[in-house]
Structure 1
Amino acid sequence: MSQEYYNQGLEKLKQKNYKAAIEQFTHALQENPYFADAYRYRGLAYYESGDIYQAISDYSECLKLNPRNGEAYYCRALTRLELKNLPGSLDDIEKAINININYAAAYDLRGIVRRKQGYTTDAIANFKKAADLYLRQKDKENCRLCLEKIKQLQPKEYQTAIGQVTQESRHQQSKNQNLPIVSEDDYFTELLDKAERGDTPEALEDLNWLLLTDPQDGKAYCCRGIVRFKQGKYQEAISDFNQALGLDFRDAIVYRSRGKVRSHLGDFQGAIKDFNSAISMDPENTSVYVGRGNTYREMGNYIGAIEDYTKAIEYDSKNAHAYYNRGIAYTYIEEVQRAVDDCQRAISIFCEKEDWENYQTVLNHMKKFKSPSPEIQKTNDEVLRQRLLRLVGGHWAIAERLIEQAKHYYPGMSEEWYLETVIYDLERDKDDSN
């Protein structure tokens, strides 16, 4: 019979007939005084009808019968907040979260309490956690509300980074450099780590949901562009990076990532321009120098590539990728010993980091040096090639075209003769221009 009264009480509560609901829950408790949920829902009916103290009493009775009822702790915390009992409310929230670590509403409420206590940074962290959990639960509206609370509390410096201030503030932003795209505990870090592990569809789904919630989030567009790049969807990635920049999210990572995509698509000049922008914003970011170096190498500008890899190594002497890529660039200008030294250094660093996949990649590349071709063994040819490469500004593709032209006009000569002829012509033209 108590269950029947309880069900009728739930129906009355749903209809917002709180007085009738209280009567039905009271009948249920008279039949069964150990009915914990009847206390909890009668407490909710009391709360909604404005009887705060009676609501707290019922929530407490529920918790005596069921100390693991996280919803009862949350409801009592909400009621204590009405009484401005912030410590008591916070204590109940902590207990609710200990019972259910993914309790989105509890984090949301804790953010409200911490904001009232004057702890803005902690409040933002809680609203962010709540938004993350609501996003996972596909609760679009509550996620949006948490994001709005975050925006209201963000310091001006952060708002600058997402393009929500005046041009004067943007100038100040450029002086202080942009804030990092994400903090260590940020939801975006988790998404990018997920994509790095190969879970790109799941990461993409979460980002799509986030953009449905807040279509003006430039950071989310940037992250989705990175994920799409990892999926090989280069044109879609470019579109996302453009959207991020259009929303004034001008972090170095946007330009760096778009530069990589442009390089993959063969837009080398556009890639270089993006890498230059990234370097102007974050001049000590080694991955930008490696990315620009890779583009220079694709363009045949091996000297420019080597200079960028060297710059990356100056900032980070443990950058194995910079050593490996510089080794590859050295092979193109036939400085074999330097190439071997760089690859050996990369192998050593990858070994220290236990990055066995990249370790094996460099090791396989090293096998090419065991049996050098006759051209590499010709010391004089090597010197001439380096000399020619300097004359054409590091662009070996230009040098090759000049050599082919010489072969066309003077067939049957030695390789050394062609190199010397092209060098002579270039140096003569240079002297004439002076």
Structure 2
Amino acid sequence: MNDEFYNRGLEKARRKDYAGAIEEFNHALKLTPYFTEAYLQRGLAYYDSGAILKAVSDYTEALKLNPESVEAYYCRGLARVALKNLPGALDDVERAIRLNLNYASAYYLRGIVRRKQGYIQDAIANFKKAAQLYLEQQDKDNCRLCLEQIKQLQPQELPFVQQSPSPNAPILSTNEYFTQLLEKAEKGDTQEALADLNWVLKADPQDAQAYCCRGVVRCKMGNYREAIADFNQALRLNFQDAIVYRNRGKARSILGDHQGAIADLNQALQMQPEDPLVYIARGNAYRAMGNYLGAIQDYSYALKINPDDAQAYYNRGIAYTCMEEMQNALEDYQRAASIFCEQEDWGNYQQVLSNLEKIQKFSPESKKQKYNLLRQRLLRMVGGYWEIAERLIQQKQDYHPGMSDEWYLQKVIDDLERDRGR
């Protein structure tokens, strides 16, 4: 008889007759007071009818009878969220997860709780885990719901970055969610960013922005052919954005398709005519083709837009070197080195110094310029106190007499970098 009451209760709950369902479950529990499922189902009916405290009470009774009921912990956690008892909800949902590590709904609920508690990155991690589990279960609707939650937690827009398009240059985001993935790739976590994008595309194979983003990440990894395939797919899905043409153009140029690269970069400039990154990328393509005047013209235009772009000066210096205009090259290298020094970008700074060394024979002024650059760098390293630098140089002169002034500067810089663990 108790099964009859219980089944009638389930049917009434299905029809949203929650009062009638509760009455049927009451009859079932009078006949069988230790009926765990009846407590659980009556709790669900109470919850759906808005009697949250009564629902919590029934879930608690169910757990007394069956302390390993994953569903009871999950339901009580859900009810406690409604009551704004976040610590209690978190405890319940974590118990549910311990009992079932593949319970996607529990991870989703934990994401909700952590978001409400202000732990945004933890919330994102839980929504991501839930999405992965839903994807494995072929539940794409809930997977997309998780993705939407993640998107809402991302910055609304990544600011335009006026930087050079060197191999390690910052990337523009095309969507709130992808901001985090592109930043992850910038930090070197390209494999993790790629894995994230792969599951996004499994959930929605028509997500054009995801293809664009994956193409950018693949460019960062050096997988240019795969990147081009992703950019092509983004365009087929009608994602017409300058970032697609700019990055596809860069990839095509690296693979030797300079004419195709210029066509892409021209298209990007039609969409964003004041983007210095596109002018520099097109300048690089022209330079690779041997069109040094065209390259210099593009680098110069980029510098009109952003006069502090060190990479534009450096690239223009290379183009001037190819034309054997050494004085212009030296001036551009000098300017690039000064900006790199201000930015404390010592890798690119050293690369500029190496280029200066290569063209020393063409200009007697270059040695002095390199000395001034080294002196400027050392001064920054000692906080602007030249007296400290002089003492360090004197020590090196005492230990290594007879060397050049430039040698002593470089030696002090090298030792300071070693001591600071650079």
Give TM-score scaled by structure 1 length.
Answer: 0.56
Q: 1:351 aligns with which of 326, 341, 353?
A: 341
Query: What displacement does 1:345 show?
Result: 1.5
Match in the other structure for 1:134: 130
SS in 1 for 2:362: coil
Pick closer, same or farther for the CA change 1:327–1:55 going to 2, 3 Å: same
Pick closer, same or farther for the CA change 1:255–1:97 going to 2, 3 Å: farther
Pick closer, same or farther for the CA change 1:269–1:76 going to 2, 3 Å: same
Query: What displacement does 1:97 show?
Result: 6.8
Query: What displacement does 1:27 show?
Result: 5.1
Query: What displacement does 1:210 show?
Result: 1.4
Match in the other structure for 1:326: 316
1:105 aligns with 2:108: yes
1:215 aligns with 2:205: yes
Pick closer, same or farther for the CA change 1:269–1:225 going to 2, 3 Å: same
Q: 2:84 aligns with which of 82, 91, 104?
A: 91
Q: Is the 8 Å Cα contact of residues 275 and 292 (structure 1) preserved in structure 2?
A: yes
SS in 1 for 2:273: coil
Q: Is the 8 Å Cα contact of residues 131 and 146 (structure 2) preserved in structure 1?
A: no
Match in the other structure for 2:191: 201
1:182 aligns with 2:175: yes
Q: Is the 8 Å Cα contact of residues 131 and 142 (structure 2) preserved in structure 1?
A: no
Q: Letter of the aligned partner of 1:51 in structure 2? A: Y
SS in 1 for 2:84: helix
Pick closer, same or farther for the CA change 1:237–1:51 going to 2, 3 Å: same
Pick closer, same or farther for the CA change 1:203–1:347 going to 2, 3 Å: same
Separation in 2, partners of 1:25, 1:318: 80
Which blocks of at least 5 consecutive residues in structure 1 are unaligned? 1-12, 29-37, 64-70, 81-87, 114-124, 155-178, 375-434
Separation in 1, partners of 2:190, 2:269: 28
- Once superposed, what is the RMSD of the aligned Cα atoms? 4.7
Q: Letter of the aligned partner of 2:108 in structure 1? A: A
Query: What displacement does 1:339 show?
Result: 1.1
Q: Letter of the aligned partner of 2:251 in structure 1? A: V
Q: Is the 8 Å Cα contact of residues 218 and 248 (structure 1) preserved in structure 2?
A: yes
Pick closer, same or farther for the CA change 1:312–1:142 going to 2, 3 Å: farther
Aligned ranges for residues 120-159 of structure 1 at < 5 Å?
A: 132-135=128-131, 139-140=135-136, 141=138, 144-145=141-142, 147=144
1:248 aligns with 2:238: yes
Pick closer, same or farther for the CA change 1:136–1:57 going to 2, 3 Å: same
Pick closer, same or farther for the CA change 1:269–1:192 going to 2, 3 Å: same
Q: Letter of the aligned partner of 1:279 in structure 2? A: L
Separation in 1, partners of 2:31, 2:341: 71
Separation in 2, partners of 1:329, 1:301: 9
Query: What displacement does 1:347 show?
Result: 1.4
SS in 2 for 1:91: coil
Match in the other structure for 2:251: 261
Separation in 2, partners of 1:312, 1:90: 57
1:56 aligns with 2:59: no
Separation in 2, partners of 1:21, 1:324: 82
SS in 2 for 1:354: coil
Q: Letter of the aligned partner of 1:243 in structure 2? A: Q
1:178-217 CA-partner distances (Å, limit 9, x unpaired): x95033xx3x223223333333322222221111111001
Q: Letter of the aligned partner of 2:130 in structure 1? A: Y
Aligned ranges for residues 367-386 of structure 1 at < 5 Å?
A: 367-372=357-362
Pick closer, same or farther for the CA change 1:150–1:228 going to 2, 3 Å: closer
Separation in 2, partners of 1:276, 1:212: 33
Separation in 1, partners of 2:28, 2:188: 52
Which blocks of at least 5 consecutive residues in structure 2 are unaligned? 1-9, 15-23, 64-70, 95-103, 152-171, 365-422
Match in the other structure for 1:423: none
Separation in 1, partners of 2:260, 2:189: 29
Match in the other structure for 1:301: 291
Q: Is the 8 Å Cα contact of residues 127 and 149 (structure 1) preserved in structure 2?
A: no
Match in the other structure for 1:417: none
Pick closer, same or farther for the CA change 1:232–1:60 going to 2, 3 Å: same
Separation in 2, partners of 1:89, 1:289: 54
- Aligned pairs, number: 296
Match in the other structure for 2:381: none
SS in 2 for 1:329: helix
Give TM-score scaled by structure 2 length.
Answer: 0.57
Query: What displacement does 1:293 show?
Result: 0.7
Q: Is the 8 Å Cα contact of residues 130 and 146 (structure 1) preserved in structure 2?
A: no
